[in-house]
C-alpha cells in the first residue's frame, strides 16, 4: 500500500514539475507582450561594445539578443549603466536582466541568479614592457609587498589577489579600466589585473609599446560570465537556459562570440551549478 501511495505521489510531483517547466513564466509573458526586454549592459569591451551612435553590441548583448529571439522576444533595449550598478538594478527590478562580463561568483549568487555561462576566458595582467618584476601569477605580486596592483572594486581579480596573499594596501582601485591603464603608464601601479580579453582589448586600443600583456595567469580558474536575473525569476532563468542551450547546439553561438575573441568551447562543461554554492 505504501509503495502504491509513494508511486502516485511521485507521479503527481512529476506531473506538477512538468507543468511548471512547460508553462511560460510571468516574466516571459510580459516581455513577449511588450515586445522587448530591458537589459543592463556595462561598458566593458569586448563583453559589450557601444557604437558611436550609441547602439549597443558586443559579445554579451549579442548573445542575449539571439537567446531572447528564440524565446519570442523580438527586441532588446540595452541600458548602459555603471558596472557597480548592475546588481542593484536587478534587485530593484529596474531591468529584466543584466549581461556583460558579470562573472559567476559565489557571493554574487547570494543576491542574483545566473544563466548558464556564455562567455568564459582566462585572466590577464598588463605590466610595463619586459615585465621588470617578473609577474606571472598573483603569488608573485604577494611575494613583493612593495608592488602595487590595480583592479576594480568588487571584481573577481580583487578576490583572487586577496586569496593568494596580496595585501589589501597593495591594491589600488580604478573606476574604469582605462584609469587603471593610465595609472600603470604613469608608474602609480606596477601591474593591472583584469579579464584576459578585456585587458587585451584595452591594450590594443591604448597602443602603447611600453606596456605588455601577461596571459593566461596560472593558478586562477578561468572566469565565466552569464546573464544575470532577479532572484525571483527562476522560471524565466530556466527558459533562458533552454534557449541558450539551443543556440549553443546550432553553432550560431560560436558565430556570435568568436569574432569578439571568445571561445565557444571554453563554456562547454561549465555550469552555474558548480560555480554557485548550492547550485542556485
Partner 1 sequence: MKEVLAFYPILIDGTITTIILTVLSAILALVISFVVGLSRISKFKIVRIIAIIYLEFFRGSSALVQMFFIYFVLPMWGIYFDALTAGVVAIGCNLGAYGSEVVRGGVLAVGKEQHEASLALNYSPYKRYRYVIIPQAIPVMIPTFGNLLIELLKLTSVASLITISDLTFMAHIIRVQTALTLEPFLVILVIYFIIASILVKIVDIIANKFSKGRNIMIAGEN
Contacts to partner 1 by CB under 8 A = 40, 43-45, 49-50, 52-54, 79-82, 85, 88-89, 91-94, 176-179, 181-182, 202, 205-206
Nearer to partner 1, 93 or 167 (CB): 93
| Least Cβ distance, residue 150 to partner 1 (angstroms) | 15
DSSP H or E segment with residue 42: strand 36-42
| Least Cβ distance, residue 83 to partner 1 (angstroms) | 10
Nearer to partner 1, 131 or 206 (CB): 206
Nearer to partner 1, 54 or 251 (CB): 54
CA distance linking residue 64 with residue 155, whole number of Å: 22
Q: Which residue has the cell 511560460?
A: 24
| Least Cβ distance, residue 152 to partner 1 (angstroms) | 12
| Least Cβ distance, residue 73 to partner 1 (angstroms) | 21
CA distance linking residue 266 with residue 268, whole number of Å: 6
Counting other chains too, the contacts that 102-105 makes at CB distance below 8 Å and 24 or more residues apart are 102/42, 102/225, 102/226, 102/228, 103/155, 103/156, 103/195, 103/223, 103/224, 103/225, 104/224, 104/225, 104/226, 104/272, 104/275, 104/276, 105/156, 105/159, 105/275
Q: Which residues contact 119 (CB under 8 A, 6 or more apart)?
A: 47, 59, 60, 63, 101, 224, 225, 226, 257, 262, 267
| Least Cβ distance, residue 48 to partner 1 (angstroms) | 9
DSSP H or E segment with residue 149: strand 149-152
Nearer to partner 1, 92 or 268 (CB): 92
> Do 234 and 152 touch, CB atoms closer than 8 A?
no
| Least Cβ distance, residue 29 to partner 1 (angstroms) | 21
Nearer to partner 1, 70 or 87 (CB): 87
Nearer to partner 1, 85 or 245 (CB): 85
| Least Cβ distance, residue 50 to partner 1 (angstroms) | 5
> Do 28 and 239 touch, CB atoms closer than 8 A?
yes
- Dihedral sign from CA coordinates of 127, 209, 201, 45: positive
Helices 59-71 and 26-34: angle between axes, nearest 10 degrees: 100
> Do 241 and 115 touch, CB atoms closer than 8 A?
yes
> Do 128 and 213 touch, CB atoms closer than 8 A?
no
Nearer to partner 1, 29 or 205 (CB): 205
| Least Cβ distance, residue 33 to partner 1 (angstroms) | 19
Nearer to partner 1, 53 or 278 (CB): 53
Amino acid at each position: 500500500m505504501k509503495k502504491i501511495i509513494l508511486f502516485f505521489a511521485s507521479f503527481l510531483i512529476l506531473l506538477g514539475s512538468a507543468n511548471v517547466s512547460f508553462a511560460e513564466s510571468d516574466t516571459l509573458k510580459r516581455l513577449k507582450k511588450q515586445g522587448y526586454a530591458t537589459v543592463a549592459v556595462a561598458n566593458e569591451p569586448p563583453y559589450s561594445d557601444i557604437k558611436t551612435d550609441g547602439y549597443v553590441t558586443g559579445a554579451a548583448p549579442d548573445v542575449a539578443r539571439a537567446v531572447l529571439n528564440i524565446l519570442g522576444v523580438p527586441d532588446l533595449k540595452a541600458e548602459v549603466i555603471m558596472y557597480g550598478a548592475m546588481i542593484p538594478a536587478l534587485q530593484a527590478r529596474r531591468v529584466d536582466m543584466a549581461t556583460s562580463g558579470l562573472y559567476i561568483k559565489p557571493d554574487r549568487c547570494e543576491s542574483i541568479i545566473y544563466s548558464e555561462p556564455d562567455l568564459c576566458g582566462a585572466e590577464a595582467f598588463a605590466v610595463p614592457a619586459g615585465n621588470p618584476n617578473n609577474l606571472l601569477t598573483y603569488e608573485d605580486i604577494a611575494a613583493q609587498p612593495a608592488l602595487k596592483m590595480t583592479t576594480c572594486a568588487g571584481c573577481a581579480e580583487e578576490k583572487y589577489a586577496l586569496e593568494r596573499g596580496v595585501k589589501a594596501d597593495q591594491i589600488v582601485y580604478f573606476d574604469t579600466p582605462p584609469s587603471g591603464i593610465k595609472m600603470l603608464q604613469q608608474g602609480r601601479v606596477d601591474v593591472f589585473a583584469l579579464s584576459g580579453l578585456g585587458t587585451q582589448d584595452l591594450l590594443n586600443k591604448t597602443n602603447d609599446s611600453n606596456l605588455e600583456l601577461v596571459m593566461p595567469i596560472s593558478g586562477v580558474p578561468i572566469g565565466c560570465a552569464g546573464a544575470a536575473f532577479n532572484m525571483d525569476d527562476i522560471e524565466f532563468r530556466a527558459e533562458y537556459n533552454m534557449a541558450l542551450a539551443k543556440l549553443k547546439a546550432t553553432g550560431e553561438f560560436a558565430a556570435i562570440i568568436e569574432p569578439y575573441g571568445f571561445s565557444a568551447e571554453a563554456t562547454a562543461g561549465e555550469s552555474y551549478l558548480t560555480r554557485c554554492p548550492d547550485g542556485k
